[in-house]
Amino acid sequence: MTKKERYKKVLDWFIENAESAETELHYQNDYQLLVAVILSAQCTDRRVNMVTPALFEAFPTPDVMAVSTPEAVFEYIKSCSYPNNKAKNLVGMAKKLLSDFGGEVPNDIDSLLTIPGVGRKTANVMLAVAFNKPAMPVDTHVFRVANRIGLTDNSKTPLETERELVKYIPAELLSKAHHWLILHGRYICVARRPKCEICGLSPWCKYYKKKRGGLSGVTINPSSISP
C-alpha cells in the first residue's frame, strides 16, 4: 500500500465514522478558546473544563484579565499543570491582545506567535478551531497516532509531523483531521496499550500489521514500534 492510498483509506474511514468530531474544550468566544488552549498544555481538557467556568466569570474579557495579576489568576487555575507560568502567560496574553490587536484574537499565525503562552501548536489550534483555517496542530496524540498508523515516516519532531500531514491531507479536511487524530489517540490509540482490537483503522495501520506479525511468529524489532 502506498502512502497516498493509506491516507485515502484512513481519511475515508474518519469521514464515515467521525464526521462530527470537534474540540472537547468548553468556550463561547475566541478569547475563551485561547485561554482554554493555553491552559491545556500538558493538562487534560477535562481538568481545563473544570477550572474555566469560574475563571471566565472572574475574567470575562481581555480587558479585565489585563488589569489583574498573575497571583489573582493563579487562584483559579492552580489545579492545572504549571499554574504559575500559565497565570503569567494569561495576563501577558490579555495585555498583548489589548496593546497590539484591539482586544481581539488575531487570525494569522505570525501574529498569534507573538502572544505570551502561544506556541505553534496553540496557534494552529486557534486557526483550525476558531477561524476554520487549514491548519494542523500537532500534540502528543497527533504525533503518536500519525507515526503508528504510517501517515508519517517516524517523524522526530511535531513540525516534521505537521509538514507531512499538511502535504497529504486536503486543505478542506485539515481542521477536521486534527480532531480525528487527537480523539483517536485519546480514546483508541492510547499511548501504552492501544485498543487495536476495536480500532477501525487496523486494516491500514502499520503498527497493527507489525503487531499481528509478531503474534504470528514473525520477529520484530521492538524499537521499530512507536511507544
- Report how far residue 191's alpha carbon sits from residue 226's, in angstroms, rounded to the nearest whole number: 9
Cα dist from 146 to 29, 143, 175, 192, whole Å: 30, 6, 15, 15
Give pTM, 2 decimals.
Answer: 0.87
**What's the confidence (pLDDT) of residue 188?**
96
User: Residue 29: is its pLDDT beyond 60?
Assistant: yes
Give the pLDDT of residue 214: 54
- Mean pLDDT, residues 131-139: 94
Q: What is the mean pLDDT of the chain?
A: 92
- Residue 114 CA to residue 118 CA, distance in Å, equals 7
Query: pLDDT, tens digit, for every residue of 2-15?
Result: 999 999 999 999 99
Decide if 33 contacts 22 (C-beta within 8 A).
no
Query: For the ranges 21-25, 29-33, 92-96, 115-119, which has the lowest average pLDDT?
Result: 21-25
- Asked whether the predicted pLDDT for residue 226 surpasses 50, the reply is no
- The number of helix segments (H) and strand segments (E) in the chain equals 12, 0
Predicted pLDDT at 194: 94
What's the confidence (pLDDT) of residue 217? 35
Which of 152, 206, 212 is closest to 177 using CA atoms?
152
For residue range 147-171, what is the model confidence (pLDDT) as tens digits? 999 999 889 999 999 999 999 999 9
User: Could you list the active site residues?
Assistant: 121, 139
The dihedral through the CA atoms of 195, 197, 200, 202 has a sign that is positive
Q: Which of 23, 40, 47, 25 has its CA nearest to residue 117?
A: 40
pLDDT attached to residue 154: 83
- Residue 129 is classified by DSSP as I
> Mean per-residue pLDDT for 186-191?
95
C-alpha cell at 193: 496499550
pLDDT grade, residue 37 (50/70/90)?
Answer: very high
